[in-house]
Amino acid sequence: MENVNMEGSYTAYEIVPLPKEKWQGTLIPMRYTTTEYYDVSVGQKEDGFRVTLEKKTFAEPVSHTPEEYDFPDKLYQEHWEKACAWGVLEGQEMIACIETCPEEWSNRLMVTELWVHEAHRRKGIAHELMAVAKEQARLERRRALILETQSCNVGAIAFYLQEGFTLIGFDSCCYQNGDLDRKEVRLDLGMLYNRRPELKREDIEIRPETEKDYFGTEEMTMRAFWNKHHKGCNEHFLVHKLRTSGDYLPGLSRIAVRDGRVIGGIFYSRAWLKKDDRSMEILTFGPLCVEPAWQGCGVGRLLLEETMALAKQAGYPGIVIFGEPDYYPHRGFVTCDKLGITTAEGKNSDAFMGCELFPGALKAFGGSFYESEIFEQLSPEETEIFSAQFPPLRKQYFPMQW
Ligand SMILES: CC(C)(COP(=O)(O)OP(=O)(O)OC[C@H]1O[C@@H](n2cnc3c(N)ncnc32)[C@H](O)[C@@H]1OP(=O)(O)O)[C@@H](O)C(=O)NCCC(=O)NCCS
């Protein structure tokens, strides 16, 4: 079977979610043999401490097996409360797995388990599994991906270094008091996601889209939403269809361009508040999106500021959207219940928000919100066909999806 990996190339392995209900308690046969170890030495001197980790060779190869440990590795151990696991199956048998768990207080994602069956090692499976953990860390905006390994697991350490991890710490008595002498010391490795610096208005071009930008805009939109709310996404197809709709407002919509590449976009369309037999034209936008590598650098804010000023100049009373409840309140939006507005079905939620461009302009009307019919017309089959023209991305389940 041909599958696409997280980096967009084809692979022989399908990575499937391993749901807790089915896989909790599954033993992970964490076997490995090593001829080398990192010798950890800790020395105290008058002016401080000196720690060294030096690679050395064992006199005889050393093997580690799950049987030797009081707490063998298992999937979904109770203390990893928000764990999530993925794996590769051969029939019903698990031949590889990765488990992650967020450490919420520090906003880091931990890889709590990683294992590939001996018969399937050095075929790139761990690399593919790690790509899923990296993608989860990115989607959840974690500041680091971290994990624990042992100083004698030189093969695993080589793998982690290859993946971009570095040493972030160690614990000389995590497993037993004699870990240093036993040459099995807990090492902490991490991959730090440092955001790019904030972009200023003059660092990017913000302008209306031209036909030449269409493909780049759609590809950027696909990458920005991929696996975020559902497996895959349809927002890139929405942008494509929206341009053909009479409700689309190209005069307000803008893209952000840097070094000739589209790195963000915001797409406005006509919407309505309806009350009794009266109707008021307002605005909505969707999607607003930024290329993943440029997220968190202020591109979304710059696009919003510029286009909201345009909308105000044009005299629109306000904007109503369905969007991320954590993002828009910093940009002047409030939940629609505060404006006396409900959805067409009479509902309210944290994601349903509005912003008045003139004080009181939405609240004075209230009513229920209607957007262009184009938002309802995206069939999964058509989306699939449309997506095929872009570099492929793997559809994957992530815990933050709706
Ligand atoms: C560590 C482990 C998960 C790696 O799995 P894998 O599927 O064999 O790794 P990949 O094939 O994806 O490796 C990608 C690259 O990492 C590096 N790498 C992986 N294993 C390595 C090893 N034993 N020695 C040196 N480099 C290694 C290589 O650069 C490799 O690319 P290459 O094969 O083209 O040279 C696997 O050996 C394993 O399950 N070990 C036992 C369980 C374990 O120790 N888990 C980690 C607990 S902390």
pLDDT tens, residue by residue, 136-168 = 999 999 999 999 999 999 999 999 999 999 999
Task: Ligand 1, residue 113: give the atom nearest the CA.
Answer: 47
> What would the mean pLDDT of 318-331 be, rounded to a whole number?
93
Q: Which residue has the higher pLDDT, 94 or 70?
A: 94
**Residue 280 · residue 365 · CB < 8 Å:** yes
Best residue among 64, 123, 154, 159 to mutate for probing ligand 1, ranked by most atoms within 8 Å of CB: 159
Q: Is the CB of 156 under 6 A from ligand 1?
A: yes
pLDDT recorded at residue 12:
74
**Residue 393 · residue 248 · CB < 8 Å:** no
Report the separation in Å between the CA atom of 121 and the middle of ligand 1, taken as the mean of its atom positions: 6
Q: Is the CB of 123 under 6 A from ligand 1?
A: yes
pLDDT recorded at residue 1:
39
In sequence order, which residues have a C-beta less than 8 Å from that of residue 47 and are 6 or more positions away? Answer: none
Task: Ligand 1, residue 117: give the atom nearest the CA.
Answer: 39
Task: Ligand 1, residue 160: give the atom nearest the CA.
Answer: 16
Report the separation in Å between the CA atom of 149 and the middle of ligand 1, taken as the mean of its atom positions: 13
pLDDT recorded at residue 196:
84
* Backbone conformation region of residue 327, classed left if phi is above 0, alpha if psi is from -120 to 50, else beta: alpha
Assigned CATH class of 3-192:
alpha beta
Give 278-295 pLDDT, tens digit per residue: 999 999 999 999 999 999
From 87, 152, 92, select the one nearest 126 (Cα to Cα): 87
Q: Does this chain's domain 3-192 share its CATH topology with 201-387?
A: yes
Structural domain spans, the chain: 3-192, 201-387
CA separation for the pair 250, 267 (Å, rounded): 8
Q: Is the CB of 119 under 6 A from ligand 1?
A: no
Residue nearest to atom 2 of ligand 1 (CA): 156
Report the separation in Å between the CA atom of 37 and the middle of ligand 1, taken as the mean of its atom positions: 15
Residue nearest to atom 1 of ligand 1 (CA): 156
Minimum mean pLDDT among 67-71, 137-141, 245-249, 291-295: which range? Answer: 67-71
> What would the mean pLDDT of 382-389 be, rounded to a whole number?
96
Report the separation in Å between the CA atom of 96 and the middle of ligand 1, taken as the mean of its atom positions: 12
Task: Ligand 1, residue 153: give the atom nearest the CA.
Answer: 44
In sequence order, which residues have a C-beta less than 8 Å from that of residue 205 and are 6 or more positions away? Answer: 256, 257, 258
How does residue 10 score in pLDDT terms, banded at 50, 70 and 90?
low
Q: Is the CB of 121 under 6 A from ligand 1?
A: yes
Residue nearest to atom 17 of ligand 1 (CA): 159
Report the separation in Å between the CA atom of 41 and the middle of ligand 1, taken as the mean of its atom positions: 25
**Residue 355 · residue 308 · CB < 8 Å:** yes
**Residue 94 · residue 88 · CB < 8 Å:** yes
- Fill in the DSSP letter of residue 123: S
> What would the mean pLDDT of 70-82 be, rounded to a whole number?
91
Report the separation in Å between the CA atom of 157 and the middle of ligand 1, taken as the mean of its atom positions: 8
**Residue 110 · residue 98 · CB < 8 Å:** no
Q: Is the CB of 325 under 6 A from ligand 1?
A: no
By the 10 Å C-beta count (0-12 exposed, 13-18 middle, 19+ buried), 300 is classed as buried
Give 256-267 pLDDT, tens digit per residue: 999 999 999 999
Residue nearest to atom 21 of ligand 1 (CA): 155
The proportion of the chain whose per-residue pLDDT surpasses 90, expressed as a percent, equals 90
The proportion of the chain whose per-residue pLDDT surpasses 70, expressed as a percent, equals 97
Mean pLDDT of the chain: 94
Q: Is the CB of 395 under 6 A from ligand 1?
A: no
b/e sequence 371-396, b meaning 16+ C-beta within 10 Å: bbebbeeeeeeebeebbeebeebbeb
Residue nearest to atom 43 of ligand 1 (CA): 115
Q: Is the CB of 253 under 6 A from ligand 1?
A: no
pLDDT of residue 362 exceeding 60: yes
pLDDT recorded at residue 9:
64
Residue at token pair 């607003």:
288
**CATH code for the part of the protein at 201-387:** 3.40.630.30
* Backbone conformation region of residue 308, classed left if phi is above 0, alpha if psi is from -120 to 50, else beta: alpha
Residue nearest to atom 3 of ligand 1 (CA): 115
From 307, 321, 332, select the one nearest 369 (Cα to Cα): 321
Give 103-142 pLDDT, tens digit per residue: 999 999 999 999 999 999 999 999 999 999 999 999 999 9
pLDDT of residue 8 exceeding 70: no
The reported pTM is: 0.86
Q: Is the CB of 115 under 6 A from ligand 1?
A: yes
**What sections of 106-247 are H helices per DSSP?**
125-139, 154-163, 179-182, 214-225, 235-242
pLDDT recorded at residue 69:
74
Give 182-231 pLDDT, tens digit per residue: 999 999 999 999 888 899 999 999 999 999 999 999 999 999 999 999 99
Best residue among 36, 121, 152 to mutate for probing ligand 1, ranked by most atoms within 8 Å of CB: 121
pLDDT recorded at residue 112:
98
Residue nearest to atom 26 of ligand 1 (CA): 158
